[in-house]
Amino acid sequence: MNTNAELTARSATRTQASAMSAFATSAMRKATQAIRANARVLRYLASSLSSTAVDYTLLLVFNATIGGVFLPVALARVSSCTMNYTMNRKVFNARGGVVATAIRYAIMAASVMTMSYLMIQALVSAGMALWMASLTASSSLFIVNYLGQNFFVFGTLADFRVFITEAAASVSLFASRAATACASTIRGIVARLRGRELVLAA
């Protein structure tokens, strides 16, 4: 009896260990796939954060050594943008010459800066604190800046068309599944209500 119990316990332990191992392997595989799928976004985020850190650091250094505001801000921004451009050429696997992509990068940076200023101005005028308005504007324009650099600065029009096609297909599939789920839920609710009505009538 004890032998059978021990064998059963060992078998259960092995089964549990096997299940845990399979779960861990599956979780690791999913995590790896998610990291690979979002690798470019993560690299872009790292590039943006490091450039921002350089911008703030140089601003403080130039302000302490040169003095004033305009010149330290200009020097710090030019330095951080140059660093960001160089890093993002590798992040997005730039398809284009240095001069052409640099010009498009400058246009994109100026456009985003203008949109950020207008958004901050509007939010501050509406009563929001400056730091919160700046954070809101930066967060809102993150995806705009990412897509702009991915397709306009370092990509091609063909890449953008493929992206739009895939995005439209994904949205269509999501909408179809959502509609099916809603219809199924509604049918279930109606069936339950009819069942209750029949019970009450009986």
The two three-digit tokens of residue 77, written as one number: 């921004």
**Residue of 138 and 20 predicted with greater confidence:** 138
Residues 24-35 have pLDDT tens digits of: 566 566 555 555
- CA distance linking residue 24 with residue 150, whole number of Å: 34
- The share of the chain scoring above pLDDT 70, in percent, equals 72
The two three-digit tokens of residue 176, written as one number: 């179809």
Residues 50-99 have pLDDT tens digits of: 988 888 888 888 888 988 777 888 888 889 889 999 999 988 888 878 88
Confidence of residue 11 (pLDDT cuts 50, 70, 90): low
pLDDT of 2 above 50: no
Q: Which of 19, 80, 81 is nearest to 55 (CA)?
A: 80
- The C-alpha angle with vertex 126 and arms to 121 and 128, in degrees rounded to 5, equals 80
- CA distance linking residue 117 with residue 110, whole number of Å: 10
pLDDT score for 1: 47
Residues 86-143 have pLDDT tens digits of: 999 988 888 878 888 999 999 988 888 888 888 888 888 898 887 788 778 878 888 8
**Residue of 38 and 153 predicted with greater confidence:** 153
Instruction: Give, for 12, the enclosing helix (H) or strand (E).
Output: helix 2-37
Cβ proximity of 103 and 81 under 8 Å: no
User: Average pLDDT, whole number, for the chain?
Assistant: 77
Q: Phi, psi at residue 145, to the nearest 5°?
A: -65, -40
**Residue of 21 and 4 predicted with greater confidence:** 21
Residues 137-164 have pLDDT tens digits of: 878 888 888 888 888 888 876 766 766 7
pLDDT score for 113: 82
pLDDT score for 180: 81
- The share of the chain scoring above pLDDT 90, in percent, equals 6
pLDDT score for 85: 92
pLDDT of 7 above 60: no
